[in-house]
């Protein structure tokens, strides 16, 4: 008896994978099963294993292989089914939500991103239910999901310290500031690049927007402080570097602008905690009380939202041929936000008593 070994080339596997994506979009469940079976064969699974896995007969597997050999990928054309697929039960929806929250890699996929097609495949794999690609998005929305851009979170986070900050350190610090009728200020620094910054914008399909750039690697640096109680914004630009001298000069300017005490929340930048800066804090302890944010926690600093708003207003998709033009744009925006105390106060929604620790809270757009 002659044994014939069939090998599927890498090029054909690629074409079959593309055909599988079309089958998912069309909602053709039979073709999805067929292509997945053939892909399993390309990976070395035996016909018996494939038949058992997909709930079909061994003869069906051989028939599909024969048609693939005879007609190629043309034998894998899906038929458009249209309409809404079968529905998931409530328990299945709960299970689906848990799987999505755990992440695509935890579900066995190589990609770290959930796409509509990947979720469609997950539903088919886990529950044997085929949703039309269009309705996968609707299903996800009803389950409380939205299509979002991920953000980085440091792997050095100490969640215990962060929780202590939200539940103990900050509430105590806030009460002290209120008792002293002081400003409670969150501080940070930002640099605005002359070469600009890119952002999403509406444009004609197929015509990606282009923005001129000088390529000059020069930035306009700004120190800032915002007050929790009044929404007041203090700021000062610097031509030099962010360091202890420029930071202390900024704080001196703020102390001159008001007779009230300052309760300052800052991060762990070196010039915030240098020997020189600590000595300045000691020298002005009568009016200046300082506490540190937890390490690697920029998401706990509301002024970060202000910097984002400033960049949307000043540098996103804007060309600055001259550095002076950049300075003028940033200064105008800073002056504007000094008049928008209601907006600045909205940045602190994270720290409202009934929302502490709720990461879903975000400031209003402006």
What DSSP string runs through 304-316?
Answer: HHHHHHHHHHHTB
What is the pTM assigned to this prediction? 0.61
Query: Of 154, 187, 182, which is closest to residue 306 (Cα–Cα)?
Result: 187
Sequence-distant (6+) residues with CB within 8 A of 238 are: 221, 222, 223, 246, 249, 250
pLDDT at 83: 52
pLDDT at 153: 65
The pair phi, psi for residue 230, each rounded to 5°, is -105, -20
The stretch 32-36 carries a mean pLDDT of 85
159 band by pLDDT with thresholds 50, 70 and 90: confident
pLDDT at 95: 94
pLDDT tens, position by position, 65-111: 888 888 888 888 877 655 555 588 999 999 999 999 999 889 988 88
pLDDT tens, position by position, 240-264: 899 999 999 999 999 999 999 999 9
pLDDT at 243: 96
Give the whole-number percent of the chain exceeding pLDDT 70. 90
pLDDT beyond 70 at 213: yes
User: Rg for the chain (alpha carbons), in Å?
Assistant: 29
Tokens of 340: 């928008």
Strands (E), the chain: 183-193, 219-227, 233-238, 262-266, 288-292
Q: How many CA atoms lie within 13 A of 321 on its CB side?
A: 0
pLDDT beyond 50 at 362: no
Q: List b or e across 177-216, with b for residues whose CB sees 16 or more CB atoms inside 10 angstroms.
A: beeeebbbbbbbbbebbbbbeeeeeeeeeeeeeeeebeee
pLDDT tens, position by position, 109-129: 888 888 887 898 899 889 988
pLDDT beyond 90 at 340: yes
List, edge to edge, every strand of the sheet that includes 219-227.
Answer: 233-238, 219-227, 183-193, 262-266, 288-292
The stretch 309-322 carries a mean pLDDT of 91
The stretch 263-292 carries a mean pLDDT of 96
Tokens of 364: 């209003």
pLDDT at 156: 67
pLDDT at 354: 41
pLDDT beyond 80 at 336: yes
Q: How many CA atoms lie within 13 A of 290 on its CB side?
A: 19
pLDDT tens, position by position, 162-198: 999 989 999 999 999 999 999 999 999 999 999 888 8
- Mean confidence (pLDDT) of the chain: 86
pLDDT at 42: 87
pLDDT at 274: 97
Sequence-distant (6+) residues with CB within 8 A of 114 are: 100, 103, 104
356 band by pLDDT with thresholds 50, 70 and 90: very low
pLDDT at 217: 80
């Amino acid at each position: 008896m002659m044994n014939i070994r069939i090998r599927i080339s890498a090029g054909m596997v690629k074409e079959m994978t593309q055909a599988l994506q079309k089958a998912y979009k069309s909602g053709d469940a039979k073709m999805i099963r067929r292509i997945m079976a053939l892909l399993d064969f390309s990976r070395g699974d035996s016909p018996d294993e494939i038949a058992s896995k997909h709930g079909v007969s061994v003869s069906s597997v051989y028939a599909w292989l024969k048609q693939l050999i005879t007609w190629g990928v043309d034998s894998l054309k899906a038929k458009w089914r249209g309409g809404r697929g079968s529905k998931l039960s409530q328990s299945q929806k709960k299970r689906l939500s848990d799987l999505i929250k755990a992440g695509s890699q935890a579900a066995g996929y190589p990609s770290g991103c959930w796409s509509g097609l990947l979720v469609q495949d997950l539903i088919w794999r886990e529950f044997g239910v085929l949703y039309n690609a269009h309705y996968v998005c609707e299903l996800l929305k009803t389950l409380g999901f939205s299509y979002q851009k991920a953000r980085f979170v440091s792997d050095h986070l100490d969640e215990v310290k962060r929780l202590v900050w939200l539940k103990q350190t900050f509430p105590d610090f806030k009460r002290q500031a209120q008792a002293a009728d002081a400003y409670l200020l969150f501080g940070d620094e930002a640099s605005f690049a002359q070469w600009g910054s890119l952002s999403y914008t509406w444009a004609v399909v197929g015509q990606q927007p282009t923005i001129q750039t000088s390529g000059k690697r020069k930035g306009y640096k700004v120190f800032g402080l915002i007050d929790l109680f009044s929404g007041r914004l203090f700021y000062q630009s610097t031509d030099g570097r962010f360091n202890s001298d420029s930071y202390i000069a900024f704080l001196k300017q703020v102390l001159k602008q008001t007779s009230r005490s300052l309760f300052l929340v800052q991060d762990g930048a070196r010039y915030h905690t240098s020997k020189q800066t600590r000595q300045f804090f000691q020298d002005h302890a009568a009016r200046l009380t300082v506490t540190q944010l937890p390490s690697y926690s920029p998401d706990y600093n509301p002024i970060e939202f202000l910097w984002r708003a400033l960049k949307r207003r000043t540098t996103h998709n804007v060309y600055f041929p001259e550095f002076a033009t950049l300075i003028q744009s940033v200064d105008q925006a800073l002056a504007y936000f000094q008049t928008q105390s209601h907006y600045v106060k909205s940045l602190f929604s994270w720290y409202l008593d009934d929302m502490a620790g709720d990461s879903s809270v975000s400031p209003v757009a402006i």
